[in-house]
Amino acid sequence: MKWRNAYIQGGLAGLLSHNWKGNRPSVIKPDQREALRLKLREPGNGLRGFTELLAWFNKQFNEEVNYSTMNKFVKRNYGASVRSPASHMKKDRRPSRLLKNFEQLCSELTTALRRAAPV
């Protein structure tokens, strides 16, 4: 045990003055991090999952990053996940006129039925 030998040879000061490095350097470099952050923040980026994000990243930077590495990196650093959109991204999100008319007709019909129903 390295820590035990360091303690025996130098005491508590020997333990505190170690030269061990904690983590290995990240596979994703700082400039790649920034590009990834911008891509994830882009509202209509068109990504439908981590697989597409990984394919974009590998193509953009000509690298081979593992799926699990990208998945953990994005979740850890950006607190986000790539989710597939609920519907097509170019679809008009406003309710159509027909839907508004239908909702209005339903509410009018409900009101009329409540008035006509015997209590």
> Which tens digit of pLDDT belongs to each residue from 42-68?
877 777 788 888 999 999 999 999 999
> Which of 71-99 are b and which e, b meaning 16 or more Cβ less than 10 Å from the residue's Cβ?
bebbeeeeeeebeeeeeeeeeeeeeeeee
pLDDT for 12: 84
Task: Look over the chain and give the mean of its residue pLDDT values, rounded to a whole number.
Answer: 81
Q: Within the chain, where are the H helices? A: 2-16, 30-41, 50-61, 67-78, 97-116
- Cα-based angle 33, 49, 90 (whole degrees, multiple of 5): 100
Give the span between the Cα atoms of 69 and 71, in whole angstroms. 5
Question: How confident is the model over 86-105, as pLDDT tens digits?
Answer: 566 566 666 666 666 777 88
Please compute the mean of the pLDDT values over residues 3-9 and round it to a whole number: 85
Length of the chain: 119
In Å, the largest CA–CA distance within the chain is 95
48: how many CB neighbours lie within 10 A of its CB?
13
pLDDT for 64: 93
The yes-or-no verdict on residue 21 having pLDDT over 80 is no
Structure token digits, residue 68: 């699990």
Domain ranges of the chain: 2-86
